[in-house]
Amino acid sequence: MMADKRGSTMEIMGSATRDGGEEAGSGGTSGMRTVETLLRLLPMGLCIVALLVMLKNVQTNEFGSLSYSNLGAFRYLVHANGVCAGYSLLTAVVAGMPRRSTMSRAWTFFLLDQFLTYIILGAGAVSTEVVYLAYKGDQAVTWSEACDSFGGFCRRAVASIAITFAVVLCYAALSLISSYRLFSKYDAPPVHAHSSTKGIENDAVFHN
Amino acid sequence: MMADKRGSTMEIMGSATRDGGEEAGSGGTSGMRTVETLLRLLPMGLCIVALLVMLKNVQTNEFGSLSYSNLGAFRYLVHANGVCAGYSLLTAVVAGMPRRSTMSRAWTFFLLDQFLTYIILGAGAVSTEVVYLAYKGDQAVTWSEACDSFGGFCRRAVASIAITFAVVLCYAALSLISSYRLFSKYDAPPVHAHSSTKGIENDAVFHN
């Protein structure tokens, strides 16, 4: 009865539910697998770029020398991007293989995707705060506007942070896909379409 | 075949899938509704406490006066906690009502829960960074250790941030519940348990 709405909202997820009930949601179609693999390779590339931009971010002038490693938030950003790049590569390989998804794999992907989203979002947020303080300073706690002296350093840091937030968007989308893959397994389909008798769903609860 | 595993992993979500296939995942059981309502009221209380602790955080001594409003990150923390408290109350009321969940409501809850999780996690992260800098300072950018002079202010800020991270945990759990509620609707049950013919799932795709 709401088939139209379902059609439009599921467009973003490919066509996983379109080739027969038993395969639905188990990641069996190659279209959805390709989309997921690409969506995992994209943040890998972005993470490496963000990591390299920050890693090479050193400025020396008459006020002294400033490197990313002088600021804890930027060190965390580099580490988070490194972990994220490795995880993206690993999961892109696993997601790209034409095997059927198991429950334990779906739970692992779901929990790790959520966790990595929080890690990389945290890295972007703390680095944004440091750059904000470096541009604006804070008189009440006598913190100076470091970007007045180290403008190039701050601009490269902003570039790295912007790329990190693009990674956050990719991971938010991946979280959506992995929670769809996990929880679409949890429905209890009736054996007959309009039956709702108690207990009959027990042996038809998983489709793989 | 994997019914045991399902039983144990779904324990945390109450008993939504246990009373017949057609009701599964639609939030029809009162047990799961109660758990969700309580899990939405808890962060409301925590948000208000975190907000009040930070709002009353002012210290005046011989070095001057320091208030939460002097630091952008703490202002953001106060606003995020305020928005979060309001959202938690609103959704607790909606979730507590014994109505059946619709697709649009499930999508709204899912997207807003995710969004609020990111907002409140960001607030906790940037405030943690500011407190970290206030305790440790940073010689390379000549930022002083403000907590040497404003110890009480820093301790109250840490308390408020710790409560905010408890809210983050609640919201991570709520995101899990709302994605379960949404995506468990998306499975395409076969009309007959072992059929996988194309197209037959179209009129049995939603259970409400």
Buried b (16+ CB within 10 A) or exposed e, B13-38: bbebbbbbbbbbbbbbbeebbebbbe
Which pLDDT band holds residue B202 (cuts at 50, 70, 90)? very low
Give the pLDDT score at B29. Answer: 66
Residues 104-133 of A with CB under 8 A from B: 107, 114, 118, 121-122, 125-126, 128-130, 132-133
For the stretch B80-127, pLDDT in tens is 999 999 999 999 998 888 777 788 888 899 999 999 999 999 999 999
B15 has pLDDT over 80 = no
- List B residues 20-79 in contact with A (Cβ-Cβ < 8 A): 20-25, 64, 66-67, 70-73
User: In chain B, whose CA is at the least distance from the CA of A189?
Assistant: B189
Mutate to test the interface with A, among B143, B144, B150, B175 (most CBs of A within 10 A): B143
With b meaning 16 or more CB within 10 Å and e meaning fewer, what string describes A96-113? beeeebebebbeebbebb
Of residues B192 and A141, more confidently modeled: A141
DSSP H helical segments within chain A, as ranges?
Answer: 3-9, 30-55, 72-96, 103-136, 151-183
Nearest to B3 among A122, A200, A202 (CB): A202
pLDDT tens, position by position, B126-160: 999 999 999 999 888 889 999 998 999 999 999 99
Reply yes or no on whether the pLDDT at B34 is more than 60.
Answer: yes
What is the domain partition of chain B in residue ranges?
A: 30-186
| pLDDT for position A207 | 42
pLDDT for residue B116: 95
Tokens 């956050």 identify what position? A168
CB pairs under 8 A between A and B: 222
Best mutation target, A58, A102, A143, A168, to test chain B (most B CBs within 10 A): A143
Flag whether pLDDT at A11 surpasses 50: no
A83-138 pLDDT, tens digit per residue, is 999 999 999 998 888 777 788 888 999 999 999 999 999 999 999 999 999 999 98
Strand partners of residue A135 = none
Q: Which residue has the higher pLDDT, A10 or B82?
A: B82
Q: How confident is the model at residue B185 (pLDDT cuts 50, 70, 90)?
A: confident
pLDDT band at A157 (very low <50, low <70, confident <90, very high): very high
CB-count burial class (<10 Å; 0-12, 13-18, 19+) for A133: buried
> What residues of B are in contact with residue A107 (Cβ under 8 Å)?
9
Whole-number pLDDT of residue B188: 42
Confidence grade of residue B175 (pLDDT, cut at 50, 70, 90): very high
| Average pLDDT, integer, range A168-194 | 75
Reported as a pLDDT band with limits 50, 70 and 90, residue A156 is very high
Q: What would the pLDDT profile of A25-79 be if each residue is shown by its tens digit?
A: 444 467 778 888 999 999 999 999 999 999 999 999 888 889 999 999 999 999 9
Residue positions counted in chain A: 208
Q: Can you give the pLDDT at residue B187?
A: 62
- Cβ atoms B168, B124 nearer than 8 A: yes
Confidence of residue B11 (pLDDT cuts 50, 70, 90): very low
CA closest to A60 among chain B residues: B140
Q: What is the mean pLDDT of residues B9-25?
A: 39
Any chain B CB within 8 A of the CB of A80?
A: no
- Which residue in B122, B101, B102 sits closest to B164, CA to CA? B122
Nearest by CB to residue A71, choosing from B17, B138, B189, is B138
Distance from CA of B189 to the nearest CA of A (A): 5
From chain A residues 150-169, the ones with a CB under 8 A of any chain B CB are 150
